[in-house]
Amino acid sequence: MAGHQGERRRRPRRRATVASVLGELLLTAGVLALGYAGWQLWLSDAVLGAQQQAAGQSFAAELGPDAIAAPDTALRPAASAEPEPEMPAEAAVADRASFAVMYIPRLGQFERVVGEGTSRAVLDSLEQGLAHYSASAMPGQLGNFAVAGHRNGQGGPFTHLDEMRIGDRIYVKTAEAWYVYEFRNHEYVAPTGVGVVEPVPQQPQTPADGRYLTLTTCNPEWSSAGRLIAYATFVGWQPLEDGMPLALAESLGRA
């Protein structure tokens, strides 16, 4: 009896089947895919964004010292179609060359290098990350200074571009001057909506009589189905030797 009971307790060993092994492999692959997605969503942009930020700080130092402007330093306006005689004329630069650093306090500690041309070599670069539309104006010039950046991935400089608020200032530092723009509004367009980078955005037949800044990125996040556009208008400039605008220095914790 005892022997028979032992036999009844003994259960047959399960044998691995092709289906079970395949299922386990698929499950493992799914876990790895989710882990990679998590890396792309959080860690990758945080790590790469920090590298682009460090590159921005380094290039800003190359452009000129970041002494802080005196409290009574005022921006010099350029409201007319003609620039002031003292206002520098920013020269065009070679493809892929770095020429400016953009600061957007609304987006946090944001210092990113602007490179020439919208190739992946500029957009994906750890030394740049923001890409100037070559056919558009240079900073401070009459017309539209248009710049592209990734919404997500490769540092995601424009992940939170949708959070810009009216009146938010955007600062652009070059080897010649500081240029200051104020955010005005967002627009959502199709990927074919290239009118946003015209000299007067969305008005291809209108000659430019002002100075604008247009920022473009993908929309929605993690999709290239559309484009999110942020428009800003020029409010003034100051020579590089005047120092970093005080409001910007305060936002960066340097004043």
Segments making up each domain of the chain, as ranges: 45-80+93-252
Distance CA 66, CA 149 (A): 25
Q: What is the number of other CB atoms lying within 10 angstroms of the CB of residue 222?
A: 13
Could you list the active site residues?
150, 218
For the segment 139-152, what is each residue's pLDDT rounded down to a tens digit? 999 999 999 999 99
Picking from 130, 232, 140, the residue whose alpha carbon sits closest to that of residue 186 is: 232
- pLDDT, mean of residues 189-218: 96
For residue range 157-174, list pLDDT tens digits in order: 999 999 999 999 999 999
The pLDDT-based confidence of 29 (bands split at 50, 70, 90) is very low
CB of 130 closer than 8 Å to CB of 161: no
**Average pLDDT, whole number, for the chain?**
87
pLDDT of residue 80: 63
Query: Is 42 or 58 the better-scoring residue by pLDDT?
Result: 58
* Residue 102 to residue 238: CA distance in whole angstroms: 15
Q: Rounded to whole angstroms, how far apart are CA atoms 184 and 187? A: 10
Distance of CA 229 to the CA centre of its chain: 12
Please determine, for residue 32, whether its predicted confidence score (pLDDT) is greater than 50: no
Q: What is the CA radius of gyration of the chain?
A: 26
Query: Would you state the pLDDT for residue 220?
Result: 94
Q: Which CATH architecture has domain 45-80+93-252?
A: Beta Barrel (2.40)
Q: Which residue has the tokens 């402007």?
A: 69
pLDDT digit string, tens, across residues 179-199: 999 999 999 999 999 999 999
What percent of the chain stands above pLDDT 90? 70
- Is the pLDDT reported for residue 16 higher than 60? no
- DSSP H/E element including 189: strand 177-189
CA distances from 113 to 39, 109, 171, 223 (A): 24, 13, 12, 24
Rounded Cα–Cα distance for residues 216 and 158 (Å): 8
Q: Which residue has the higher pLDDT, 127 or 79?
A: 127
Which of the residue ranges 28-32, 35-39, 76-80, 132-136 would you say has the lowest mean pLDDT? 28-32
User: In angstroms, what CA-CA distances link 210 with 46, 109, 179, 236, 241?
Assistant: 36, 29, 14, 12, 25
Whether the per-residue pLDDT at 7 is higher than 80: the answer is no
